[in-house]
Structure 1
Amino acid sequence: MQRYFITAEQFGDSDIRLLGEDAHHALRVMRTKPGDKFIVSDGQARTALVAVREAAAEGITADIIEMLPMDSEPNWSVTIAQSLPKGDKMELVIQKGTEIGAYAFVPFESERMIVQYDGKKEAKRLERWSKIAKEAAEQSHRSRIPSIQALHSWRELMKSVDTYDLALFCYEREGDAAHGKGVRTAVREWALQSGAIDSPSILLIVGSEGGFTEREASEAEAAGAVLVGLGKRILRTETAGIVGLTCLLYESGEMGGA
């Protein structure tokens, strides 16, 4: 069933209003008419099944049939910190990461970042990324839309590490079984040391196409991040965060893990 995210102001006591692009999509793409049903959520505390009462170009009014539980979010809040990749790779990370269950995304600058960052395009880029996250959250029936932060410098990212319960730094050298540790080992060691945390916040740090330098790995470790590998194979930058996120949610039991 089609799902839309609306603002708290569009959510009434007994009905809702669907406006703007969402109303256009419902009318022109979904061919919505009076009597049709869909789901709406304010992304915070309310999700409801509604039935269309009036469908017009200026907006759709729908009556609330029943309130629904907001139970589609993972217990572990995983933020993907992604060194800004070239082309549209960040869009793929956001789209697939949202579908899987990422809590938030933090693009950042690193030494081997290939793309040339243009600050003048940041607002437009964030708007595009936010739209992708919203559409992916609707498609995957999320209860909230992941937040996407403005581009961080390396220093800003390192300062944020200790605000999370656990920070994992994906470093290809750690994929070597001779000396590295994987996500499962890191998470289970952390769980033993920290005790039971029902809803931990986790930062997953992923490098650009060129990977991380040894200096960056040392600084991340000094800031409190745990260096981890994602297997013996070298993953593309747009693949690493998706794999790491999936591993974490599996460990949390979200996907049938122990």
Structure 2
Amino acid sequence: MFHFFVKQDQIEEERICITGADVNHMKNVLRMKQGEEILISDGEGKDYYCKVHKLEKDQVIASIISKGSSETELPAKLVLFQGLPKGDKMEFIIQKAVELGVWEIVPVSTKYTVVKLDGKKEENRLKRWNAIAESAAKQSKRGLIPKVREIMTLDQALSYSQTFDMAIIPYEEARGMETAKQAVSAVKPGMKAGIFIGPEGGFAKEEIKAAVDHGAMPVSLGKRILRTETAGLAVLSVLMFALEE
């Protein structure tokens, strides 16, 4: 069943009007026909099971069959603070993090970040990153589209995380798995938790100290050194299994 997102003002009592780029995709790529069943989400946790009623020039009208709360969201809000990686690794990270249930992604510029984006490049990159998040949300039947926020410095990210219930920061010099197990167990339904991941060069020692001073908990991810595109996904996977009902 194909999945689409709409805004609240597109939802009526008995029907939903799909507009924008999805119309061309449905008509000319998916070649959908009247009567086909589709899943529509409002981006705020509610799902609508519908049938295509009419395909018009600028919109597709879907009749609502049933509706209910989305059952695909994790009970806790997990925010991935991802140190900017090189190349197209960020696109891979966003796609997989969305599939694993992340609530929000924050690109972070750190001491060892190699990638530097000026205003226009950052704007274009953010549009692409959010488009990837939307595509991944559709594919994985998410009830909402996780937002990729504007790039923050580490200080800005740490300040933002002060509003969270907790934050963890995997660090290769952290020893033992007991602290990591305690951190995973501490994330409970209803909480908001941050996960700080460094870029290819990792975090500088002064950055780890700053994170700890802001209340983040350094944890080990095992005896092996994980790449930046692996570390965050490993943490999200463990938390997904711990939280999934």
Q: TM-score range with shorter-chain normalisation?
A: over 0.9
Structure 1 counterpart of 2:206, one-letter code: R
Match of 1:54 in 2: 54
Q: How much does 1:216 deviate?
A: 0.6
CA distance in 1: counterparts of 2:226 and 2:196, whole angstroms: 14
CA contact (8 A) 2:45 2:69 kept: no
Match of 1:210 in 2: 201
Match of 1:220 in 2: 211
CA distance in 2: counterparts of 1:172 and 1:45, whole angstroms: 37
Match of 2:222 in 1: 231
CA contact (8 A) 1:76 1:249 kept: no
Match of 1:156 in 2: 156
CA distance in 2: counterparts of 1:45 and 1:187, whole angstroms: 25
Q: Which moved more, 1:207-216 or 1:41-50?
A: 41-50
Q: Which moved more, 1:45-54 or 1:7-16?
A: 45-54
CA contact (8 A) 1:19 1:58 kept: yes
Q: 1:27 to 1:139 in 2, by over 3 A?
A: same
In the TM superposition, what whole-angstrom CA distance separates every residue of 1:35-91 from its partner, at most 9, and x where no partner exists?
111011111153111111111331111111111331210012110000111111111
**Structure 2: stretches of 5+ with no match in the other structure:** none
Match of 1:194 in 2: none
The yes-or-no answer on 1:186 pairing with 2:183 is: yes
**Structure 1: stretches of 5+ with no match in the other structure:** 192-196
Structure 2 counterpart of 1:246, one-letter code: S
CA distance in 1: counterparts of 2:66 and 2:191, whole angstroms: 31
Match of 1:66 in 2: 66
Runs of 4+ in 1 over 4 A off after TM superposition: none
Q: 1:117 to 1:181 in 2, by over 3 A?
A: farther
- Aligned residue pairs total 245
Please report the TM-score for the alignment, with normalisation by the length of structure 1: 0.90
Match of 1:144 in 2: 144
Please report the TM-score for the alignment, with normalisation by the length of structure 2: 0.95
The yes-or-no answer on 1:133 pairing with 2:130 is: no
For the residue of structure 2 that corresponds to 1:13, the secondary structure is coil
* CA-atom RMSD in angstroms: 1.6
For the residue of structure 2 that corresponds to 1:62, the secondary structure is strand
Match of 2:17 in 1: 17
CA contact (8 A) 1:182 1:230 kept: no
